[in-house]
């Protein structure tokens, strides 16, 4: 037994690493440990100190409580010891129990641990700022959210460094790096110990405050951070003092979401809102604004589908003679067949923003005429009535589409009236193209007259056959002398030039009575007939008012 122990010691002494060990025999109560066992552990005890099992185990227990770094497995422990004047030492201890014997092996793993920690640091920390990088932040934040009881209240903050491109373009990337470095220092110094801060990439930073009693407690820390940011000044090569500027968004746990991924998404949205409006602020997530933005996004998706698949139908509203009450025309009114996108004004707004007005113009001309022709063929409308189609003042169909339209609907061309909205500025090239379209024999109507900014000029430019007075003027015209005067003037102007006046938006018997007195030519509105896929009959009460007026 003695010979075996001696050989074991020689082997450990000849090894390239410092190794020590011990053996406890519970059947005999004996303790054996190598001369270097306690010195490796950094325990100032003599190797010749008399030792029993109880004393030995007590020493290891106290040592573990004080120095344990991590438990790698049930039998392996890693210790971190701070030795005065020698720095930090890492020791690995492996323990094995078999029957009545416990054997322990200790090894000084300082060199390998330092190398491992160096590699881990390079893997986890951003070299420019010293903060966590994207990978480490993701790992650590997900680990925190795996222990939800410790989170209590938390705030995920997404930050974007303003003006980085300006610094890079003006002073070079070295100064851009210095700008990023200063931002990293500001976040580290402006947040409490334990806060997760990371430089994600380029001008992007993330912060996670967690473990707080309330939102207000976190807000106090965020206020301190804001003050730290606002006070940070960088002196540029030209001597200019440049203030650090950071835009950011805050998402709350659990108020905004219980999901880390959703919080990140919400914080990003809040930051985006700041970047689009007033840079240099850190704003909290706004659920209402988010829902509106999401709805807008969904509407835009539906719009592109609407245009691509032409998911449109047309309702037709009768326009009747103010003298006979007979139907003289129908106005085609767009309806979108989608869950969210329904209103024509929303369709037009998005079409302008998405640069799709020409597509809407083409679709309107073809589909409205197609629907009218179908009703005409089935004898569900008055066959010789005119068709008023809303056109976009700044748009016209492509030449090939004009030819195709004429080939399909040559017979109907003379019945088509192109409505140009007075609110839109007239594009003269588009207007001339429409006038000279193959087979076009119809007329123009100036729509919504009185709602725009240059009524007389619009009349001169368009020289319309019909002038549709806007419903804002027709509404309550029976009690408003100013509106009556406007209609009286335009009627006098139009009738001298062989133009016809359409009073649109009529909703009461009194309004109809008054516009008849003012000598308008055509009537349109809900009181007469509502727009329908298949237009119905004219309201009998309205027809009685007309008949009584001319008795």
Separation between Cα atoms, residue 280 and residue 160, nearest integer Å: 9
Is the per-residue pLDDT at 85 higher than 50? yes
> Which range has the top average pLDDT, 119-128, 260-269, 322-331, 344-353?
322-331
Do 307 and 364 contact (CB within 8 A), yes or no?
no
pLDDT of 473-516, one tens digit each?
999 999 999 999 999 999 999 999 999 999 999 999 999 999 99
Residue 1 has pLDDT above 50, yes or no: no
Residue 288 is predicted with a pLDDT of 86
DSSP for 170-200, written as a single string: HH-HHHHHHHHHHHHHHHHHTS-TT-EEEEE
Ranges 221-230, 314-323, 445-454, 542-551: which has the least confidence: 445-454
Are 541 and 417 contained in the same domain? yes
Which runs of E-coded beta strand occur in 365-430? 386-391, 416-421
Per-residue pLDDT at 171: 87
| Domain at 421, CATH number | 3.20.20.450
> Average pLDDT in the 17-45 region?
88
Residues 149 and 81 in one domain: no
Q: Are residues 390 and 426 in the same domain?
A: yes
- Are both 252 and 347 inside the same structural domain? no
The two structure tokens encoding residue 455:
């009524």
Which position has the token pair 């061309």?
413
Expressed in angstroms, the distance from the first to the final Cα of the chain is 137
Q: Per this entry, what is the length of the chain?
A: 551
Residue with tokens 């619009």: 458
Based on the domain organization, do 359 and 259 belong to the same domain?
no
Q: Which of 294, 302, 308 is nearest to 346 (CA)?
A: 302
523 beta partners: 320, 503
Domain final residue pick, 256, 285, 314: 285
Question: Does 167 lie in the same domain as 238?
Answer: yes
On whether the CB atoms of residues 336 and 348 are closer than 8 A, the answer is: no
**CB atoms inside a 10 Å sphere around CB 435:** 13
Please choose, from the candidates 343, 344, 321, 319, the residue with its C-alpha nearest in 3D space to the C-alpha of residue 329.
Answer: 319
Residue 332 maps to a domain: yes
pLDDT one-digit tens code per residue, 275-303: 888 888 999 998 888 878 777 888 888 89
Regarding whether 357 and 500 lie in a shared domain, the answer is yes
Same domain for 515 and 480: yes
Domain for residue 294, yes or no?
Answer: no
Region 407-434 average pLDDT:
84
Question: Is residue 402 included in any domain, yes or no?
Answer: yes
Mean confidence (pLDDT) of the chain: 88
- The 3-state DSSP class for residue 441 equals coil
In this prediction, residue 14 has a pLDDT band, given cuts at 50, 70 and 90, of: low
Residues 260, 331: one domain? no
Q: What is the pLDDT of residue 457?
A: 67
Mean pLDDT of 98-117: 89
Who wins on pLDDT, 72 or 155? 155
Q: How far apart are CA 363 and CA 89, in angstroms?
A: 78
DSSP assignment string, 11-50: HHHHSSS-EEEEEEETTTTEEEE-TTHHHHHT----TTS-
141 and 77 in a single domain? The answer is: no
Q: What distance in Å separates the CA atoms of residue 468 and residue 501, rounded to the nearest whole number?
A: 6
Cα–Cα distance between 456 and 298 in angstroms, integer? 41
What is the percent of the chain with per-residue pLDDT over 90, rounded to a whole number?
Answer: 56
Looking at the structure, do residues 371 and 266 belong to the same domain, yes or no? no
Q: Which residue has the tokens 């007590």?
A: 58
399 assigned to some structural domain: yes
Show the domain range for 21. Answer: 2-114
State the chain's maximal CA–CA distance in angstroms.
138
pTM of the model: 0.56
pLDDT, position 456: 67
State the pLDDT at residue 183. 92
pLDDT of 8 over the 70 cut: no
CATH no. for residue 108?
A: 3.30.450
| Residues 121 and 171 sit within 8 Å (Cβ to Cβ) | no
**Residue 145 falls within a domain, yes or no?**
yes
pLDDT tens-place string over residues 432-445: 899 889 988 879 99
> In the predicted model, what is the mean pLDDT of residues 81-100?
88
Regarding whether 190 and 168 lie in a shared domain, the answer is yes
Q: What is the pLDDT of residue 371?
A: 96
With respect to residue 508, please indicate whether it lies within any of the assigned structural domains: yes
Backbone dihedral angles phi then psi of residue 23, each to the nearest 5 degrees: -140, 130
Q: Choose the final residue of a domain: 114, 139, 159.
A: 114
How many domains does the chain fold into?
Answer: 3
Cα-flanking dihedrals φ and ψ of residue 371, to 5°?
-65, -40
Sort strands 312-321 and 327-336 into parallel, antiparallel or unpaired.
Answer: antiparallel
CATH number at residue 262: 3.30.70.270
Among 89, 114, 139, which residue terminates a domain? 114
In a domain, 411, yes or no: yes
- Look at residue 7 and tell me if it is in a domain: yes
């Amino acid at each position: 037994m003695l010979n075996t122990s001696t050989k074991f010691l020689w082997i450990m002494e000849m090894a390239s690493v410092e190794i020590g060990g011990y053996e406890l025999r519970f059947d005999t109560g004996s303790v054996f440990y190598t001369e270097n066992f306690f010195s490796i552990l950094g325990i100032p005890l003599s190797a010749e100190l008399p030792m029993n099992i109880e004393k030995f185990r007590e020493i290891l227990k106290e040592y573990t409580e004080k120095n344990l770094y991590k438990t790698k497995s049930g039998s392996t422990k890693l210790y971190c010891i701070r030795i005065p004047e020698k720095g930090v030492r890492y020791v690995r201890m492996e323990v094995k129990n078999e029957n009545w014997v416990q054997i322990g092996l200790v090894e000084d793993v300082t060199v390998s641990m330092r190398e491992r920690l160096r590699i881990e640091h390079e893997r986890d920390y951003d070299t420019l700022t010293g903060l966590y990088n994207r990978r480490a932040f993701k790992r650590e934040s997900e680990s925190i959210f795996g222990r939800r009881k410790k989170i209590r209240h938390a705030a995920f903050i997404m930050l974007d460094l303003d003006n980085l491109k300006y610094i890079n373009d003006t002073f070079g990337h070295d100064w851009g790096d210095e700008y990023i470095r200063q931002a990293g220092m500001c976040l580290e110094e402006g947040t409490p110990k334990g806060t997760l801060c990371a430089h994600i990439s380029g001008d992007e930073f993330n912060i996670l405050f967690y473990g707080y009693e309330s939102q207000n407690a976190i807000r106090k820390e965020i206020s301190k951070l804001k003050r730290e940011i606002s006070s940070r000044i960088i002196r540029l090569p030209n001597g200019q003092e440049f203030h650090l500027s950071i835009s950011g968004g805050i998402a709350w746990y659990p108020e905004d979401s219980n999901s880390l991924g959703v919080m990140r998404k919400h914080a990003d949205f809040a930051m985006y809102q700041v970047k689009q409006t007033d840079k240099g602020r850190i704003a909290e997530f706004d659920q209402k604004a988010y829902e509106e933005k999401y709805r807008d996004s969904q509407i835009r998706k539906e719009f592109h589908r609407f245009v691509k698949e032409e998911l449109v139908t047309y309702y037709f509203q009768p326009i009747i003679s103010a003298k006979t009450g007979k139907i003289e025309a129908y106005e085609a009114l767009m309806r979108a067949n989608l869950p969210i996108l329904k209103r024509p004004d929303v369709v037009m707004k998005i079409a302008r923003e998405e640069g799709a007005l020409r597509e809407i113009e083409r679709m309107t001309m073809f589909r409205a005429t197609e629907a009218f022709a179908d009703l005409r063929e089935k004898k569900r409308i008055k066959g010789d009535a005119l068709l008023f189609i809303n056109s976009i003042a700044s748009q016209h169909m492509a030449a090939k589409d004009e030819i195709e339209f004429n080939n399909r609907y040559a017979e109907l061309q003379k019945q088509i009236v192109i409505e140009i909205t007075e609110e839109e500025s007239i594009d003269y090239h588009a207007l001339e193209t429409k006038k000279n379209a193959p087979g076009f024999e119809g007329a123009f109507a100036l729509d919504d007259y009185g709602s725009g900014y240059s009524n007389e000029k619009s009349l001169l430019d368009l020289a319309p056959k019909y002038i549709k007075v806007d419903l804002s003027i027709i509404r309550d015209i029976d009690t408003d002398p100013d509106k009556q005067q406007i209609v009286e003037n335009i009627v006098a102007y139009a009738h001298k030039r062989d133009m016809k006046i359409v009073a649109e938006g009529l909703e009461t018997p009194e309004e109809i009575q008054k516009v008849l007195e003012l000598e308008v030519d055509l009537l349109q509105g809900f009181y007469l007939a509502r727009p329908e896929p298949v237009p119905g009959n004219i309201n009998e009460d309205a027809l009685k008012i007309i008949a009584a007026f001319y008795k």
